[in-house]
Amino acid sequence: MLAPLLDALRLTHARHCKRRWELLELGSGAMLRSACRRAGPSVAGRSSVAIAGPSARPSARAADVSVPSQPSSSHLHRFPTTRISAQSRRISTSAPRASASSSSGSASKAAARDFSQFDRLETRTFSIISHVDHGKSTLADRLLELTGTIPQDGSNQQVLDKLKVERERGITVKSQAVTMVYDYDGPRDDFISAFDDGFAPKPGRYLLNLIDCPGHVDFSYEVSRSLSACQSALLVVDATQGVQAQSITVFELAKQKDLAIVPVLNKSDLPAADPDRCALQMEEILGIDTTLPGQEPLLISAKTGRGVDSVLRALVERTKPPPGVEDGKLEGREGPGFRALVFDSWYDQYKGVVSLVSIADGAVKKGDRITSCHTGKRYEVLSLGVNSPEMIPTDVLRKGQVGWIIANMKDMSEAQIGDTFHLSSEKVEPLEGFAPTVPMVYAGIFPIETTDFLKLEEAIQRLALNDRSVTVQRESSMALGQGCRLGFLGLLHLDVFRQRLEDEYGHAILVTAPSVPYKVTWRDGREEIVSNPIHFPDDSERKGKVTLLEEPMVRGVVRCPEEYTGEIMQLCAEHRGEQLDVSFPPTASAIRSVQMTYRLPLSEIVTDFFDKLKSCSSGFASFEYSEDGYQASDLVKLIFLISNTVLDSLSIIMHRSKVLYNARAWTKKLKDIIPRQQFEVSIQATTGSKVIARETLSAYRKDVTAGLYGGHYERKLKHLNKQKEGKKRLKALGVGRVQIPTEK
């Protein structure tokens, strides 16, 4: 599916044609306008965008994602940059004109925070979606500042990334919803309706519900459920990077949900920004006709604030309110038939279980009795309100609004994401929930102290309820005791979950090497997905019983400067990759970049592939992957035995070509880390049918003859034999009791 899109990417380059981005000075700020001079309806002068005065933003964050990501903007300075030619941008001045932001002013911003009459306001609910690091959270900051939702003090940096892990890594991992009040000053003179019926919004106060989504592929579940609550999506594209893999995925998700797309080109302040090329990519790759009214990309800089209020304006103009809630009328939002979709929930220490809902029909008030379609349980609404960004209680939530509900729920499991709430007195059809996710990577999580298992399990269950894309199963291991086996959507997801578990619950934990789900076909035709190596048949067990072993594959796209092509090809070959395509897509910089598409086994990339890729490309390579079915493979279970006892937590499934190398390397490593005992310890690696590697850890040996001077040799021998006997006894006792250090 990716191939035609990548072809289109190349085409874009061929058909590259310059469009004009005009910068017009305006009262409080400037106006940016895309004046397309291509074939088709002229849009010059159609979209007029008011821009708030540039505010100095703190410099780009230092933290970078540790696992696969596109080269971040911080890498860009290393590439020579190509600027949009001076001729392609016409800079002119025009008479000052009141912009949306200037018209609001501080008094109206204060009024905007008044939520007493908010339920009559017309609403627009939208998600901000994009590829990772294209500037969604920074844009959310500016939108919140412009609407007076947060103070405009120059210190706001990705304020919606509240989790410690988000701030440390500089990425969004959880969607956040915020309600803003926006004063719209009415359509401009050059306004052209985006709708066939000529729909034009009226000037006035609007309620905008913003949902900032994560960009990394591992958190696509967050994006998908956030989009379910929306009418439109702001598709942000970094004007220096162009349309990238996740831009396509999230765009398709939004299209599937039939949302209005508002394309935004961000980072226009950077010299490498090439809005012409990006706009063309949007056309060629995403099929957005940027010449049509309502589909023109908005050129902004979320960092400086330039052009950001054009986004607010576009949200009101390019999206229609849900039917029945126009013009501040209450009829369409009174009920009956109240239905609310639960799209997030969390546990608040003081308030208890909080459900974030999007009201699809009717209204709900404090004291109402509601029922969960999922469990059939009834609750009383104790309080409700909106996030702006703090929790603000209100009297009622009506159709089209997004807000929180606190009912007398005892347990997080009662606030199921994807559930529908309705009034207990009414019968309704449940809203469409969310399809369950399929984990791509599994890992075992064990407590360091085995007695802490119940505490750890509770912590895992709580976090997993907050992140429904994680699957949890109990697991026990001879060496590590009781633990849980968790399924994640990717490696970053696993790493973030581990960190959240440690941060939020203060547990020191042990995570086993990630593994992937394999498919075993038994002779009776039964197919079984095995994600835990303990349950995978070894060579001796499978004889005559297993007809087919398959492993999950991915289609990976590596993009890097051309000079690293050789190293990356070698790396992919070492990881059993099969090359499918090589292309040279256009870049914003003067450095030629190469894009290689590979089919790789998932198991090969869940270990050290990303680290190697980053180091062999000096950090410039980016890697994206998507599932690509299963493929028959000669798989082997490598089992380790310490003093003839199976160390089940170390069992690992791998391709037969790698088994000997790994068996030798791992037995050597185990020999280094296992402390010497009073008795000899054997370390063996086996495939079930034969031992393929062995190391022996020699015993401590006290010199029992040290104190004996002279005398007959038999006297010494007697002591030595006694020692031998003792060691034999110890060895017998010590089997299975060798302590494996866990921290290495």
Ligand X SMILES: Nc1nc2c(ncn2[C@@H]2O[C@H](COP(=O)(O)OP(=O)(O)OP(=O)(O)O)[C@@H](O)[C@H]2O)c(=O)[nH]1
Q: Tokens 């439109």 correspond to what residue? A: 232
Piece in contact with Mg ion (CB under 5 A), picked from 164-172, 489-497, 571-579, 631-639? 164-172
Q: Is 261 strand, coil or helix?
A: strand
Tell me how many residues contact Mg ion (CB under 5 A): 3
Classify burial at 157, counting beta carbons within 10 Å of its beta carbon; exposed 0-12, middle 13-18, buried 19 or more: middle
Residue 298 near residue 263, CB atoms below 8 Å: yes
Please state the closest distance from residue 400 (CB atom) to Mg ion, in A: 25
452 alpha-carbon distance from chain centroid: 30
Please state the closest distance from residue 136 (CB atom) to ligand X, in A: 4
Asked if residue 137 binds Mg ion (CB under 5 A), the reply is yes
Choose among ligand X, Mg ion, none what residue 310 binds, the Cβ cut-off being 5 to 8 Å by kind.
none
User: Helices marked H in 357-484 — which ranges?
Assistant: 453-466
Choose among Mg ion, ligand X, none what residue 519 binds, the Cβ cut-off being 5 to 8 Å by kind.
none
Please state the closest distance from residue 584 (CB atom) to Mg ion, in A: 30
Please state the closest distance from residue 158 (CB atom) to ligand X, in A: 5
Piece in contact with ligand X (CB under 6 A), picked from 24-32, 166-174, 572-580, 727-735? 166-174
Classify burial at 657, counting beta carbons within 10 Å of its beta carbon; exposed 0-12, middle 13-18, buried 19 or more: exposed
Q: Which is nearer to Mg ion, 137 or 394 (CB)?
A: 137
Residue 273 near residue 588, CB atoms below 8 Å: yes
134 labelled ligand-binding: yes
Please state the closest distance from residue 215 (CB atom) to Mg ion, in A: 6
Piece in contact with ligand X (CB under 6 A), picked from 165-173, 416-424, 680-688, 695-703? 165-173
Residues 90-109 that bind ligand X (CB under 6 A): none
Residue nearest ligand X, Cβ-based: 215
Cα distances (Å, whole numbers) of residue 532 to 476, 483, 514: 11, 13, 10
Classify burial at 681, counting beta carbons within 10 Å of its beta carbon; exposed 0-12, middle 13-18, buried 19 or more: buried
53 alpha-carbon distance from chain centroid: 33
257-290 core/surface letters (b: 16 or more CB in 10 A; e: else): bebbbbbbbbbbbbebbbbbbbbbbbbbbbebeb
Piece in contact with ligand X (CB under 6 A), picked from 116-124, 170-178, 318-326, 523-531? 170-178
Asked if residue 174 binds Mg ion (CB under 5 A), the reply is no
587-601 core/surface letters (b: 16 or more CB in 10 A; e: else): bbbeeebbbbbbbbb
Asked if residue 738 binds ligand X (CB under 6 A), the reply is no
Please state the closest distance from residue 437 (CB atom) to ligand X, in A: 19
Residues 564-583 that bind Mg ion (CB under 5 A): none
Strands 391-393, 441-447: parallel, antiparallel or unpaired by DSSP? unpaired
655 labelled ligand-binding: no
Q: Which is nearer to Mg ion, 250 or 341 (CB)?
A: 250
Position among 136, 174, 422, 519 found at the interface with Mg ion (CB under 5 A): 136
Asked if residue 303 binds ligand X (CB under 6 A), the reply is yes
Q: Is 235 strand, coil or helix?
A: strand
Q: Which is nearer to Mg ion, 163 or 330 (CB)?
A: 163
Asked if residue 624 binds ligand X (CB under 6 A), the reply is no
Choose among ligand X, Mg ion, none what residue 344 binds, the Cβ cut-off being 5 to 8 Å by kind.
none
- The CA distance from 482 to 466, in Å, is 23
Q: Which is nearer to ligand X, 222 or 628 (CB)?
A: 222
Q: What is the DSSP string of 193-216?
A: -SSTT---PPSEEEEEEEEE---S
Asked if residue 137 binds ligand X (CB under 6 A), the reply is yes
Please state the closest distance from residue 595 (CB atom) to ligand X, in A: 21
310 labelled ligand-binding: no
Asked if residue 400 binds ligand X (CB under 6 A), the reply is no
Please state the closest distance from residue 102 (CB atom) to Mg ion, in A: 28
And the tokens for 120? 């009559």
Contacts of 364 (CB under 8 A, 6+ apart): 338, 340, 370, 381, 384, 396, 397, 405, 421, 423
Choose among Mg ion, ligand X, none what residue 303 binds, the Cβ cut-off being 5 to 8 Å by kind.
ligand X
Choose among Mg ion, ligand X, none what residue 127 binds, the Cβ cut-off being 5 to 8 Å by kind.
none
x/- mask, ligand X, residues 206-235, rule CB under 6 A, reads: --------xxx-------------------
x/- mask, ligand X, residues 43-62, rule CB under 6 A, reads: -----------------xx-
Position among 48, 130, 394, 651 found at the interface with ligand X (CB under 6 A): 130
Q: Tokens 């809005």 correspond to what residue? A: 275
Position among 48, 69, 102, 172 found at the interface with Mg ion (CB under 5 A): 172
Supply φ then ψ for residue 35, to 5 degrees: -110, 100
Asked if residue 176 binds ligand X (CB under 6 A), the reply is no
Q: Which is nearer to Mg ion, 136 or 575 (CB)?
A: 136
Residues 515-574 that bind ligand X (CB under 6 A): none
Q: Is 305 strand, coil or helix?
A: coil
Q: Which is nearer to Mg ion, 136 or 519 (CB)?
A: 136
Please state the closest distance from residue 59 (CB atom) to Mg ion, in A: 17
Asked if residue 158 binds ligand X (CB under 6 A), the reply is yes
**Quick one: which of 83, 10, 86, 77 has its CA closest to 268?**
83
Q: Which is nearer to ligand X, 135 or 201 (CB)?
A: 135
Strand (E) or helix (H) holding 567: helix 565-574
Classify burial at 515, counting beta carbons within 10 Å of its beta carbon; exposed 0-12, middle 13-18, buried 19 or more: buried
132 labelled ligand-binding: yes
Tell me how many residues contact ligand X (CB under 6 A): 25
Q: Which is nearer to Mg ion, 136 or 542 (CB)?
A: 136
Gap between the terminal Cα atoms of the chain: 42
Choose among Mg ion, ligand X, none what residue 267 binds, the Cβ cut-off being 5 to 8 Å by kind.
ligand X
Position among 12, 73, 175, 220 found at the interface with ligand X (CB under 6 A): 73
Q: To 10 degrees, what angle do helices 308-318 and 100-112 make? A: 80
Q: DSSP class of residue 687?
A: -
And the tokens for 384? 């409700």
374 labelled ligand-binding: no
Asked if residue 301 binds ligand X (CB under 6 A), the reply is yes
**Quick one: which of 284, 295, 289 has its CA closest to 586?**
284
Q: What is the DSSP string of 626-659?
A: EEEEEEE--EEEEEEEETTEE-GGG-EEEEHHHH
Piece in contact with Mg ion (CB under 5 A), picked from 132-140, 225-233, 419-427, 720-728? 132-140
Asked if residue 399 binds ligand X (CB under 6 A), the reply is no
- Indicate the length of the chain as a whole number: 744
x/- mask, ligand X, residues 242-271, rule CB under 6 A, reads: ------------------------xx-xx-
Q: Tokens 């006894």 correspond to what residue? A: 729
Q: To 10 degrees, what angle do helices 453-466 and 491-505 make? A: 120
Residue ranges for the binding site for GTP?
130-137
User: Using CB under 6 A as the criterion, which residues of the chain lie in contact with ligand X when the complex forms?
Assistant: 60-61, 73, 130, 132-138, 158, 170-172, 214-216, 266-267, 269-270, 301-303
Residue ranges for the binding site?
130-137
User: Using CB under 5 A as the criterion, which residues of the chain lie in contact with Mg ion when the complex forms?
Assistant: 136-137, 172
